[in-house]
């Protein structure tokens, strides 16, 4: 979009240099704005489609995240493998007041792939607290209690 606006600025600067370019400048301007509208429409429709297929579910044993309209991706993480849950915002999230909840495990790409997009602040904090509590409960259930050693 910015590149198209720069091209439009160059075309306006060239047209004001005194040559008779009013006809093709109007067509170029219309073409640039038409292309910008088309790009915005495609991005909007893709985001609507992404939102329509986005899904996450917290089961008793694991969390399932399904996302991606063109190349669907399903991520299943057992609670025992979750090492950290954190909430963050990127620039667009900050503009719209949304947050992302990231689940990190021992894999390198887990923080990027395993995350829940676009939740409001109270929901993000509640989801983080609930996940951390579930993770700690699952880990404590898996621990085998050490029997006390007899004294000698």
- Give residue-wise pLDDT tens across range 98-144: 999 998 887 766 666 788 888 999 999 999 999 999 888 887 877 66
Token pair 């008779």 is found at 20
- Give residue-wise pLDDT tens across range 19-38: 555 566 667 777 888 888 89
- Residue 102: name the closest of 83, 120, 115, 112 by CA: 115
Task: Determine contact, residues 74/55, Cβ cutoff 8 Å.
Answer: no
Task: State if pTM tops 0.75.
Answer: no
Segments making up each domain of the chain, as ranges: 54-142
H helices then E strands: how many in the chain? 5, 6
Give the CATH fold of the 54-142 domain.
Answer: PH-domain like (2.30.29)
């Amino acid at each position: 979009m910015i590149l198209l606006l720069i091209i439009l600025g160059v075309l306006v600067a060239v047209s004001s240099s005194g040559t008779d370019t009013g006809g093709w400048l109007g067509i170029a301007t219309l073409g640039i704005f038409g292309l910008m509208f088309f790009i915005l429409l495609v991005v909007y429709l893709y985001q609507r489609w992404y939102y329509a297929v986005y899904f996450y579910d917290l089961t008793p044993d694991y969390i399932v995240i399904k996302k991606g309209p063109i190349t669907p991706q399903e991520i299943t993480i057992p609670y025992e493998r979750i090492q950290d849950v954190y909430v963050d915002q990127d620039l667009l999230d900050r503009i719209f007041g949304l947050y992302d909840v990231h689940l990190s495990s021992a894999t390198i790409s887990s923080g990027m792939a395993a995350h829940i997009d676009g939740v409001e602040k109270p929901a993000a904090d509640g989801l983080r607290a609930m996940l951390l509590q579930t993770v700690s409960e699952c880990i404590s259930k898996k621990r085998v209690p050490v029997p006390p050693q007899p004294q000698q």
